[in-house]
Amino acid sequence: ARAAVADVPIGPGALADGTPVPLLANLGSVDKLAEAIEKGAEGVGLFRTEFLFLDSEHAPTIAEQQAKYTALLQGFAGKKVVVRALDAGADKPLSFLNDEPEENPALGLRGLRALRAHEVILRDQLTALANAAADTTAELWVMAPMVSTVEETRYFVALARELGIKTAGVMVEVPASALLADRILADADFASIGTNDLTQYTLAADRLLGSVASFQDPWHPAVLRLVGEVGRAGAALGKPVGICGEAAADPMLAVVLVGLGATSLSMSPAALADVRAELARFTRAQAQEFAELALSANSAVEARAAVLSAATPLT
């Protein structure tokens, strides 16, 4: 019988065959840190740093940032904490970073592109992070948002290492990065798939626009095929591939993503219990079967229906 969420004890995420799938928290500030720990987050898979920069005329100083990062890392002593470099642009414009209004901001100077245009902001952020990590036992990983080329990957990883970051990776949220994941992962220590943007860019549908909201469905087989590319590249190179978009918070889709090669899942703390319970119901072989079913569907709706009906008799 299907285990109720309450029956699955708070512990490390794992499939029914014991394969570990670390379950991490997405955090936008240190406010939710206690909730994440209480809900059993095994670390942080995405720390969005935009909040530190919003409502500000200037970028915060190294010391100001360092204090915040230290609080975060101390809260997760001994655990992995993945911090994303500032992801400004499009939905999150900053006066000191986004100089020109853009007609298509999702396709504009955002993420790592914007940071490169103002490299001192990126340098200060990486320096503050490296300083904070030196004072704590948390394992700090840092990643760049919206990377679309191998060259950008090399740029970011080299700069992060120069400034004392030990583990540097990239977000895969543009189809180009997923398609070249084997080359990107040759240069990065890890990848984390941002399924929100990856879906937006794969379906060419603005994620902020209500009129095309029905396209924003990470069950779409085209999106899943790209996730599978990254999973395959990660497995071949022995590099971790996390998921940190909303897709990881959909329990059945979380199982499919693991079947496609995701090695950890990060989500808002409220989703951890349901995802933990769903993973515990299936083996790796079953997750891979579900992934195949979803990949062979013609649409997001068909993919979801096929996997749900294959999973139901097993409950």
Catalytic residues: 244
61-139-25-294 Cα dihedral, nearest 10 degrees: 120
Q: How far is it, in rounded angstroms, from Cα 5 to Cα 40?
A: 13
Binding mask 36-65 for ligand PEP (x = CB under 6 A): ----------x-x-----------------
Q: Shortest gap between Cβ of 173 and ligand PEP (angstroms)?
A: 5
Give which of 229, 258, 84 is closest to 92, Cα–Cα.
84
Contact between 195 and ligand PEP by CB under 6 A: the answer reads yes
Tokens encoding 262: 């995701």
17 is in an annotated binding site: no
Binding mask 144-163 for ligand PEP (x = CB under 6 A): --------------------
Q: Among the candidate windows 9-17, 32-40, 120-128, 188-196, which touches ligand PEP by CB under 6 A?
A: 188-196
Q: Which is nearer to ligand PEP, 46 or 109 (CB)?
A: 46
Q: Which amino acid is at 202?
A: T
Q: Among the candidate windows 56-64, 190-198, 222-230, 304-312, which touches ligand PEP by CB under 6 A?
A: 190-198
Handedness of CA 297, 300, 306, 307 (dihedral sign): positive
Q: Shortest gap between Cβ of 184 and Mg ion (angstroms)?
A: 16
Q: Shortest gap between Cβ of 244 and ligand PEP (angstroms)?
A: 5
Q: Which partner in ligand PEP, Mg ion, none is near 161 (CB below 5 to 8 A by kind)? A: none
DSSP 3-state of 113: helix
Binding residues among 72-91 for ligand PEP as defined by CB under 6 A: 87
- 165-170 long-range contacts, CB within 8 A, separation 24+: 165/126, 165/129, 165/130, 165/133, 165/140, 166/133, 166/140, 167/139, 167/140, 167/141, 167/142, 168/141, 168/142, 168/143, 168/144, 169/82, 169/141, 169/142, 169/143, 169/144, 170/143, 170/144
Q: Which is nearer to ligand PEP, 195 or 263 (CB)?
A: 195
* Residue with tokens 């853009």, as numbered in its chain: 102
Contact between 245 and ligand PEP by CB under 6 A: the answer reads yes
Contact between 175 and ligand PEP by CB under 6 A: the answer reads no
Binding site for Mg ion (CB under 5 A): 173, 194, 197
Q: Shortest gap between Cβ of 105 and ligand PEP (angstroms)?
A: 12
Q: Which is nearer to Mg ion, 201 or 282 (CB)?
A: 201
197 is in an annotated binding site: yes
End-to-end Cα distance, the chain: 5
Question: Do 284 and 256 contact (CB within 8 A), yes or no?
Answer: no
Question: Do 132 and 73 contact (CB within 8 A), yes or no?
Answer: yes
> Which residue ranges are tagged as binding site for Mg(2+)?
173, 197
